[in-house]
Structure 1
């Protein structure tokens, strides 16, 4: 049906777009405070970027990507996440030649073929930050604190920050063997996806949401027991810095995240009242991703926040601001023949940087006043035949009900004066 959008998508209507603007403005404000700059990447990329960047064993690549062949016979994918695209841009545009780390943020739509549910859509929106080019734990703590600061400024409570270290190429093979040994006699009971992950990436079994797999993963070895000295020192540094910043956290040894590019620090922020979709923020360090995408070995860390889930959380806590559709002036022409003059007045009012509208349907005076109240409008500028003949406008203050006949030349000044009272 042409009157129904594709499953898993939705329209953001005028009565809710103000909420989106409020959240996005807060995101930009916090990023300015942390000295992060906005980057905007294409909505689609070469499929190979995500195969190499995200990892072929991930659910995203195996099940969820929107991939098609364009007219040039190239495989193209709508971006399912934005970190790989930001890294591609970092390399292509030589951002590594500037001050390091490159501190970037983005806001935009992503696409995954997933089962739609509350807070999860096939076209969804993410805010994320990436800090590329710094190795130590301090930048990890900064990125985490930026996420926490944003959610706190929005007023969210009941948030839980979970952190873990997922190791590096030095210590992860040791952990891999321990996991395979642990799951060997349980393999037949695992879901088909986890049976496939057993050889390719057994850490992903810990991330499986299947209840049977979750049950059989209880008692699995912890990565913390296998960390090399460097990863252990790095993780201790992150915890120390978070504590110094007064940020509460819980160590979750089963937190591995769903993307293959993570190394060392991994973290997630959950809002428990959202239930199964409680994760509102997730991220971590990806020290091997830049090299995987064709650059020189370069460390990086970032996170993504689902904007739909944040809005859902704000709605649950009744933290969304009241809708603001008010205008300064409503111009009410009394008759079709007055519309040219009314439109001239409307144009002058807007050029004075005042919010204004007028009647376009030749409504009666009563209907126009009712329409002006719906905004609501602070003032109504009435123009009838008598006002037109005298080159005047009847200016009505909608708050007090008072009205005054003013010269057209003085109208804007009178409106501004009235707004200052």
Structure 2
């Protein structure tokens, strides 16, 4: 196939066979968030590049290596969003949604873009469902977000497949003190670090903590820990979160090396991870970013949120064979029409049935065809009933109703009685 007719590497089509599970995930999540009082916000895919450089942080892999950035016709630098939080914060600021201390509980979904090496569970265009809460500074809202995700896992049947990992990054001052101590420790062992960690030691030393290099991880075993540098307020916040999770019966692991890849996080950070997907084990991650709005020029405003990867959740459900049956509902009925007059009558009949039975899934044969070929298409569609219109049926103002999934005899039903009789038949299935 010509390269011009292929999708861009790492940007995948979601074909009709898979869209039902996507709709199932999105609708399940939307209903859950609605029950918790969250409101949907819809955000642009493109933002000014500076938004991400300031928000995510210079020196991060996302900003330095992974963003899709270009100049538009006005010579302004624009970027396809690599994540959703920065754009949501921009919208909140631009429209004054947190003025006067107003609490906002928002969610969004859509595609994100990062120039990464495509592999199973990691793509260059990927989809996230994100949640952000503003003007709620306490550990209670951190707890709510985690409890909310735990409820989602329960609804999806994933509770035993995921593990919650927690950490606290403390205040910016605490992180600065810890960063200095970590740099001193690692500088003394510089030659033993992998090449990527040597680079990060100068640009973003905390990111070394989640290095995948075994030798670097061995060096970190005796390194200073962030918990030793936490300020009292952050420690109390973290203790409050753990106490609430204990009360809610949510199991967790403390991971002192959990730092997240975006610079705006502080205090609480968390990840839901699985060992069922190989290297791409994080299915949901988030934390606090109390300084981000002020970093963008707004008044200091508490913020906390998370994002989950839709592709990874789909992959996890498929891997564990937890995709519900009948996500792709089959038609209830298929209208077979024989002759031009019957074809015209079939269109009118179909619309009348759709008016009177709003939940009816109904297909009308297209392209004419013989009795045998139309019945073959009706059967292949998976429909439960074939509704038959021919010259005799038109003359008698009846419709033939033939069950396709059992040996029940065909019935002739008067046009006026068809909606009621069809509804009764569907209730019995």
* TM interval, short-chain normalised: over 0.9
Tell me which residue corresponds to 1:240. 243
Q: Name the SS of the counterpart of 1:128 in structure 2.
A: strand
1:15-414 equivalences under 5 Å are 15-97=17-99, 100-156=102-158, 157-322=160-325, 323-352=327-356, 353=358, 354-400=360-406, 401-414=408-421
Q: Name the SS of the counterpart of 1:272 in structure 2.
A: coil
Q: Name the SS of the counterpart of 1:276 in structure 2.
A: coil
Question: TM-score normalised to the size of structure 2?
Answer: 0.94
Which whole-Å CA distance do the structure 1 matches of 2:233 and 2:396 have between them? 84
Deviations 1:343-391 (A, max 9, x none): 1212222223121111112232222222222332122111112112223
Q: Name the SS of the counterpart of 1:176 in structure 2.
A: helix
What is the CA distance between 1:215 and its match in structure 2? 3.5
Pair 420,98 (structure 1): closer, same or farther in 2 beyond 3 Å: farther
Deviations 1:116-150 (A, max 9, x none): 11111111111111111111111111111112211
Q: Name the SS of the counterpart of 2:286 in structure 1.
A: strand
Q: Is the 8 A contact 1:100 1:134 kept in 2?
A: no
What is the CA distance between 1:314 and its match in structure 2? 1.0
Which whole-Å CA distance do the structure 2 matches of 1:25 and 1:335 have between them? 42
Which whole-Å CA distance do the structure 2 matches of 1:320 and 1:137 have between them? 34
What is the CA distance between 1:280 and its match in structure 2? 0.5
Which whole-Å CA distance do the structure 2 matches of 1:149 and 1:100 have between them? 27
Q: Is the 8 A contact 2:60 2:204 kept in 1?
A: no
Gaps of 5+ in 2: none
What is the CA distance between 1:407 and its match in structure 2? 2.2
Q: Name the SS of the counterpart of 2:98 in structure 1.
A: helix
What is the CA distance between 1:337 and its match in structure 2? 5.0
Question: TM-score normalised to the size of structure 1?
Answer: 0.96
What is the CA distance between 1:212 and its match in structure 2? 4.1
Q: Name the SS of the counterpart of 1:368 in structure 2.
A: helix
Q: Is the 8 A contact 1:179 1:220 kept in 2?
A: yes
Q: Is 1:420 equivalent to 2:427 in the alignment?
A: yes
Q: Is the 8 A contact 1:287 1:300 kept in 2?
A: yes
RMSD: 1.6
Q: Is the 8 A contact 2:80 2:113 kept in 1?
A: yes
Pair 414,374 (structure 1): closer, same or farther in 2 beyond 3 Å: same
Deviations 1:283-307 (A, max 9, x none): 1100111111221111111111111
